[in-house]
Chain A
């Protein structure tokens, strides 16, 4: 079997990659070791829209016809070679094939076991069912989705690219070590959280398993992977959030949080800690090996009514499983890649998310974009759209009307037949065919009608916005031009039979004057990208877009003068490319237009005025500054502070990387170096290089104290000087935005520390927008250090993922005018936190933020239906649309080209 891409595992990065590649027309096969789609959180185990993120992506995967998913799969053998990857797959068919099942529920009536999941559910035979009974159930399914015989099949799949997408896992054994499941009232922390509800006025505080009140509560953060993973930070954050919610619901509960080595570098965490301390929550630090949880329950000798233990993240088992088969190297259980890419040491083999590192949801989704872009280089055949068939012209022919009706749409109740609408259709149309499930045999039924001479066809079925395209394509494949086909949505709007009848009648009338269409479609989007700034990320994005064959303009306020070696490498490559234009030493005076059609006016230093058109704009400036080695020339002992927690807390990855280069340089000159840092500053991949420097006694290291106890910067400075450092340098990123006039023109908001305000909720950022359909976007993207300070390697990945999103916009034929996407929002002054809107929302877009107890909106999911507006009793929920002024402005811009 030949597939373009095989993805092993179902993590969110893999799913995003599958959507990207599948939408591009490549054949994708996803392999899942489990027997159903796990909608369990794969990234975060706390509350938050994790389930929705996964479910949303999963829905996307299922909607792309070129993506296949196999469940219950075992990989027997993988052989990578120069020309592709050959995978031997052993597959035990599941009881119900999820790709065929439409969840009609007929089998459940006969005794199939159904377990509901957050999205969709699992259908399986009850364990002790007889073979005969199984066969009986099998015959009920109209889609042939039920398998009775379960013999493993072995298939050989040839792929161009293999992507490893192992799912998040946590260490259950470690939880048991701390008494979960053994000691009474020691629970996993998510279970503790369920005791406290804070949805509007329905605050409730439940009792423990025996019905006793809880007065003293301990929350314990256990550290499974030393060195700090992303998850450790999240689990600390969620512990504090749990504690705050609990305090909010029951203020007199005494709460202690135990921690060992949390990542204290993140700003949001410090904010939460401060708030928690104000509310009277205690933080107790324990050292390695000190933590004991015993009967009572008690933690380190102190008695509580209830103890919650956080989940310890571990590297997924699947990483080892797959790395052994391929002979890949593991680091801390994660698969090693080449720097700056997600490609492993073996060509054509890639990793995403948890296969690579412990990552946040948005980073994992970003990986999906990056992998897709990197995989393009290896994909052998470029996808082709099928040629338009030459179909007969019936414009002059005598119309013969036909109708295809789906009984499933005519009536929800399958066992009750709906004669009247069918009879009506038979009376007004010349030929009528009905089917229980039209989607399943549309082609056969359409052919049957065409043989009888039908040249005008009405199709009556359910949700046309989802199926219409498919049904029409199928009819076209049977030999009738789509111009002569009319779709009638019977199910949703045609509730009463009378309405259904009148819709069919109208459809026939509409068909009577159809003509075959021959007008070509014009592309409307400006197929150009405009990039501001010279960060590594924006140069990488420019290169990716230029390689895709689209023109790119890079604008710089000053002249291009690379500071980091990565920058100059990229700049040299870009200078050689024909479709890249670099505008230096200028000033942007005006940015006009909207998503898909921007005009940027630039005044260059020689007073020349240039107008650049672009479909998308990327904002990615940076001001890198390397520590000056000349300034420390005269000193023999140099002290370096790696991160200044009080001033800037988030640039740790950047400073770690830059400091490493600098320290190596100094050590090479024979100077003594002492480094002072937070212990968690050494995280991620570079830790090995640091360790080797320390072990070879080239540098000395001082760790900062717990920031909850002491001010770390002053402490480190004193400590370094005491150890003999003659000069102390502080390495952190300068976040002064030289381009703030441009960012305000683009309506980008700035945070206090200079980064661009871009993420509203730490769990949920713009990244989960899908690359499909008419993307209603402003077409403005942010990358580089001003999105969030990151190391050069991370910047390259970030630039690539932004490029992917930009390409998705400019490679599109048509785009709607800006701001047309309507999104609901909350007037926080009016919101009472009653959560009625949460109930009213069909799309899961509204939620109550436990922090400030008001309703918030996940903009990605919002459809702007205004159900929340009618549900809100206090008038706080509103739907944003264009105001009159904006509307008039967009009319002028629409007409100006």
Chain B
């Protein structure tokens, strides 16, 4: 499966992870182009439905990037995101679907390098797991 390039949908908080992605870009840190970014005002605005929909539409992984706990621009948005991602994972697990395909990461605006690392690791992990058959099972 060496040629397999996973599709990842990333929901990135405007205040931290998006800036980190920019920073990684400006500091010329190289990270895989598998992530298709969506900028959201806060990780707390990511509805579980979005994550499930992305998986259903053929994403091999979904990623939510938020601020470190306590740093949220809207005070508790990231804690809500944490709860919601947990719910999605529970749902997937109870259906015996791989919950590893959902990732939540805390990446602050200054952590361009961390952004690069997280994305690279997640991509490599998905490469090992192979293409997701979730979209087929769903239909």
Query: Do the two shown chains form a genuine complex with each other?
Result: yes
* Chain A contacts to B: CB under 8 angstroms: 388, 464-465, 468-469, 472-473, 482-483, 485-489, 493, 510, 514-515, 517-522, 524, 773-774, 776, 813-814, 816-817, 820-822, 864-866, 879, 881, 884, 887-888, 890-892, 894-895
- The answer to whether A514 and B57 touch (CB under 8 A), given A814-B25, A888-B50, A895-B7, is no
Asked if B103 is an interface residue, CB under 8 A from chain A, the answer is no
Q: In the bound complex, do residue B57 and residue A892 qualify as a contact, i.e. CB atoms below 8 Å apart?
A: yes
Question: Is the CB–CB distance between A468 and B36 below 8 Å?
Answer: no
Given A468-B23, A895-B59, does the pair A817, B38 have CB atoms closer than 8 Å?
Answer: yes
Given A524-B33, A894-B38, CB of A483 within 8 Å of CB of B9: no
CA distance A522 to B7 in the complex (A): 14
Decide: A890 and B58 in contact? CB cutoff 8 A: no
| A472 CB contacts on chain B under 8 angstroms | 27
20 contacts between A and B (CB under 8 A): A465-B19, A468-B26, A469-B23, A482-B27, A482-B28, A485-B113, A487-B23, A487-B111, A489-B109, A493-B108, A510-B113, A510-B114, A517-B30, A517-B120, A820-B37, A820-B38, A822-B14, A884-B47, A891-B57, A895-B58
Mark out the residues of chain B between 102 and 134 whose CB falls within 8 Å of any chain A CB in the assembled complex.
108-114, 116-117, 120
Chain A contacts for B30, CB-based, 8 A:
517-521
Query: Which residues of B lie under 8 Å from residue A773 when comparing CB positions?
Result: 22
Distance of B100 from chain A, by nearest CB (Å): 19
The reply to whether A483 and B113 contact each other, CB–CB distance below 8 Å, is yes
Partner of B33, one of A473, A482, A489, A522: A522
State how many angstroms separate the Cβ of B80 from the closest Cβ of chain A.
16
- Chain A's closest residue to B5 (CB) is A522
Q: Which residues of A contact B37 (CB under 8 A)?
A: 816-817, 820
Q: Does B79 contact A (CB under 8 A)?
A: no
Q: Which of B20-62 contact A (CB under 8 A)?
A: 22-23, 25-33, 36-41, 45, 47, 49-50, 53-54, 57-59
For residue A487, which residue of chain B has the nearest CB?
B110
B39: chain A residues at CB < 8 Å are 776, 816-817, 820-822
The 3 A-B residue pairs with the shortest CB-CB distance, nearest first, are: A522-B33, A820-B39, A469-B26
Greatest chain B CB density within 10 A among A813, A814, A821 is at A814
With CB as the reference atom, state the residue of chain A lying closest to B45: A881
Chain A residue with minimal CB distance to B15? Answer: A865
CA distance A490 to B1 in the complex (A): 43
A510 touching B27 in the complex, CB below 8 Å, given contacts A517-B116, A887-B50 = no
| Given A465-B23, A519-B31: A881 in contact with B40 (beta carbons within 8 A) | yes
Picked from A487, A522, A895, the residue with its CB within 8 Å of the CB of B9 is A895
Contacts of B7 in A (CB 8 A): 895
- A401 → B minimal CB distance (Å): 15
CA distance A346 to B104 in the complex (A): 60
Q: Are B41 and A521 in contact (CB under 8 A)?
A: no
B9 touches A891 (CB 8 A): yes
CB pair B117 A514 closer than 8 Å: yes
Question: Smallest CB–CB gap between B74 and chain A, Å?
Answer: 8
Residue contact B57 to A895, C-beta cutoff 8 Å? yes
Contact A774 B40 (CB under 8 A): no
Contacts of B27 in A (CB 8 A): 468-469, 472-473, 482
A864/B114 contact (C-beta < 8 A), A468-B23, A517-B29 known: no
A464-B20 Cα distance, complex, nearest whole Å: 10
Q: Which residues of B contact A892 (CB under 8 A)?
A: 57
A776 partner residues in chain B, CB cutoff 8 A: 39
Task: Tell me the complex Cα distance, A814–B109, Å.
Answer: 19
Q: How distant is A879 from chain B, measured CB to nearest CB, in Å?
A: 7
Contact (A895, B54) CB under 8 Å given A468-B23, A521-B31, A822-B14: yes
Interface positions of B (Cβ within 8 A of A) = 7, 9, 14, 18-19, 22-23, 25-33, 36-41, 45, 47, 49-50, 53-54, 57-59, 71, 73-74, 108-114, 116-117, 120
Output the least CB separation between B63 and chain A (Å): 13
The residue in chain A whose Cβ has the minimal distance to the Cβ of B74 is A866
Distance (whole angstroms) from the CB of A534 to the closest CB of chain B? 35
A473 CB contacts on chain B under 8 angstroms: 27-28
CA distance A63 to B103 in the complex (A): 35
CA distance A477 to B72 in the complex (A): 34
Whether the pair B111, A879 counts as a contact (CB closer than 8 A) is no
Known contacts A517-B30, A891-B38, A891-B50; A468/B110 CB under 8 A: yes
The answer to whether B109 and A464 have CB atoms under 8 Å apart is yes
B54 nearest CB neighbor, chain A only: A891
- B41 and A881 contact, CB distance less than 8 A: yes
Residue of A nearest to B32 (CB): A519
Most buried by A among B18, B41, B113: B113
* B113 adjacent to A486 (CB under 8 Å): yes
Beyond A465-B19, A482-B29, 7 extra complex contacts between A and B, CB < 8 Å: A493-B109, A510-B114, A510-B117, A517-B116, A866-B41, A887-B38, A894-B38
* Distance to closest chain A CB from B32 (angstroms): 5
Q: Complex: how many Å from CA A879 to CA B9?
A: 23
A822 touches B110 (CB 8 A): no
Of A483, A510, A774, which is within 8 A of B111 by CB? A510
- Cβ contacts under 8 Å, B9 to chain A: 891, 894-895
* Shortest distance from the beta carbon of B59 to any chain A beta carbon, whole Å: 6
Nearest Cβ on chain B to A883's Cβ, whole angstroms: 11
Report the separation of the CA atoms of residues A388 and B28 in the bound assembly, to the nearest whole angstrom.
10
The interface centre, meaning the residue of A388, A465, A485, A522 with most chain B CB atoms within 10 A of its CB, is A465
Residues of B within 8 A of A820 (CB): 37-40
Known: A493-B71, A895-B9. A890 touches B38 (CB 8 A): yes
- With A891-B9, A891-B50, A892-B57 in contact, do A487 and B112 touch (Cβ < 8 Å)? yes
Residues of B within 8 A of A887 (CB): 38, 47, 50
Can you name the residue of chain B whose Cβ is closest to the Cβ of A513? B117
Partner of A774, one of B22, B110, B112: B22
Contacts A517-B120, A891-B53; A483 near B29 (Cβ below 8 A): yes
Query: Which B-chain residue is minimally distant from A473 (CB atoms)?
Result: B27
Cα-based distance from A75 to B19 in the complex (angstroms) = 43
Contact B120 A519 (CB under 8 A): yes
Which residues on A sit within 8 Å (CB–CB) of B25?
774, 813-814
Closest chain-A Cβ to B55's Cβ sits at a distance in Å of 10
Chain A hits for B113, CB < 8 A: 482-483, 485-487, 510, 514
Q: How far apart are the CA atoms of A510 and B39 in the complex, in Å?
A: 25
Most chain B CB neighbours (cut-off 10 Å) among A487, A776, A813: A487
Nearest CB in chain A: distance from B109 CB, A: 6
Q: Which chain A residue shows the least CB distance to B60? A: A895
**Complex alpha-carbon distance, A776 and B21, angstroms:** 14
Q: Considering the chains assembled together, what is the distance between the CA atoms of A473 and B50 in angstroms? A: 37
Q: Which residues of B sit under 8 angstroms from A483, Cβ to Cβ?
A: 29, 113, 116
Give the distance in Å from the alpha carbon of A524 to the alpha carbon of B7 in the complex: 13
Which of B30, B47, B74 neighbours the largest number of chain A CB atoms within 10 Å of its CB? Answer: B30
A residues near B111, Cβ cutoff 8 Å: 486-487, 510
- Docked Cα-Cα span, A755 to B41, in Å, equals 34
- Cβ contacts under 8 Å, B41 to chain A: 822, 864, 866, 879, 881
Contact A894 B36 (CB under 8 A): yes
**Interface pair A465/B22, CB less than 8 Å apart:** yes
Complexed CA–CA distance, A813 and B27 (Å): 14
Task: Report the minimal beta-carbon distance from B54 to chain A, rounded to whole angstroms.
Answer: 5
